[in-house]
Structure 1
Amino acid sequence: MDDLTVKLTDGALTRDLFPQDYDCLPADITNESRPLKFMAIESIKDRRFSTASDVWSYGVLLWELMSRCLQPYSDIGPENLVTHLENDHRLIQPTNCPDTLYKLMSMCWATSIDHRPSMNTLLRLMMDFYGQLARFI
């Protein structure tokens, strides 16, 4: 852990622990279950995965933690998710989530991968946020 590398993974996909948490798109000929509601637009549409799509997923992870493990986009079906995201609809700010942290999450969900923060920028912003919290605790 000396190099500050963190790897997030979804072990549930390997054992079908939570099948209701994964969706297949109707037009998906592979019929693969994927955690669509955690995936970036370009990953869902074009199967393009990158550090920028990981940043998107990290923002959803933060939202899930701050919402006390609510299901993201629970009211949106998998067939409507891409359109919903393309129309700039994003997850709403969870109750009791600091504005600064929600702003950071929102940055992760920029439609353009070029407008999402890098992992290094996210680390810096999270450290700044932690420093702000430490002053109040």
Structure 2
Amino acid sequence: MNIRHAETKDGWGIANVRVNSWKTTYRGFYPDDKLDELNPEDDKDKWSRIADECLKSPFKQLLVAENGGFGLLNQMNILDILTIAGAIFLSQLIIAITVSLIITKNSISTKKDSKKKSKK
């Protein structure tokens, strides 16, 4: 097996490996009709472009195994990772606060309703 940097000419081969991987890995988990529609021809230009971009970037690498595999490596700096983690945490915090406010509001409404009923 020879592992090397992908080149523009590898677009169809990478797309073919990706399509076949999806068809074998996600069969039964993803709708069969959607998997059957996957075609390497549809993605070959995209993967050729990605290969070309990776050759020009010191932060990305697209590697191919000449017997039929590929891997994509991206370098993310700590700020990117913290930004993503912060966004996930913030969205979870907002959901938790919203749920808490709804529960509190419903609890207050229920208490007011029960006080009104007990006064009658």
TM-score strictly above 0.5: no
TM-score range for the pair, normalised by the shorter chain length: under 0.3
Q: TM-score normalized by structure 1?
A: 0.21
Larger-gyration structure (1/2)? 2
Higher helix share: 2
Q: Of the two structures, which has the highest relative contact order with CA contacts closer than 8 Å and spacing of 6 or more?
A: 2
